Amino acid sequence: MNAKLDQLISENRQGRHYYFQHKINPEALRVYLFAWRCCLNVHEYADLIHRCIGSCQFIENPPHYVTKLRVFTNPDRFYWSDVLLLHNDLCLKVEDSARFSGDEMTIRNFSYDLRRRSAPRRLIWRIDSHSDWHPISDPCHIHINPDNDDERLEFFKNSQGINFLYVMHCLKNQYENKPQEWEVK
């Protein structure tokens, strides 16, 4: 794994060179690179999800055990369906499926739906691909209108970095009352 990471760091990718002035944790770097360019394989991504959930400070009544995450091989793909009960009466419903080619997520179908748990279960945001399989280079969108769940904002140019790490970042923004990326632009 470290040899592969060293190769990623040192190679010239799309005209970019990677230089680091400080010592860094190689595992943290892989996570960062995954969020940026999807460079984890299917097993590493599944493991990352388990670890994120295991350390999530927003989950009500931890620990939450990921039971509906399945990893398949030949071809490499995964399926994850879950409902995370969160503090402050929030609930995150996850539906995420992807196919991988080596260390690259290539095609996916996903929905991350954050809403209130209590009636009337109003939408806060939902990032999704509308239950359709799309290459990660295709755009995806977000729903932010609590009065109309179907209304969408075509915000994301692709779904490359729109994964569970990004959703955890959005949850953190939600709890810290910080604006989301789509609210700023």
Both 12 and 73 in one domain: the answer is no
How far is 59 from 175, CA to CA, in rounded Å?
A: 12
pLDDT in tens, 12-22: 333 333 333 33
Domain co-membership, 33 together with 49: no
Q: Are residues 61 and 140 in the same domain?
A: yes
Q: Answer yes or no: do 31 and 92 share one domain.
A: no
Residues 88, 21, single domain; the answer is no
Q: Which two tokens stand for residue 52?
A: 């994120």
- Identify which of 26-30, 38-42, 181-185 has the greatest average pLDDT: 181-185
Q: Which of 54-68, 92-106, 109-123 has the lowest mean pLDDT?
A: 54-68
Residues 24 and 44 in one domain: no
Mean of the pLDDT values across residues 123-149? Answer: 91
Residues 91 and 136 in one domain: yes
- What is the DSSP code (8-state) at residue 78? E
Residue 19's contacts (CB-CB under 8 Å, 6 or more residues apart) are: none
Q: What Å distances lie between residue 19 and 2, 85, 87, CA to CA? A: 17, 40, 40
How many structural domains are present in the chain? Answer: 2
> pTM of the entire structure?
0.78
Q: What are 149-180's pLDDT values in tens digits? A: 889 999 999 988 888 888 998 999 999 999 99
Domain range for 29 is 1-37
User: Could you tell me if 11 and 93 lie in one domain?
Assistant: no
Based on the domain organization, do 123 and 98 belong to the same domain? yes
- For residues 71 and 1, state if they share a domain: no
My answer on whether 140 and 71 are in the same domain is yes
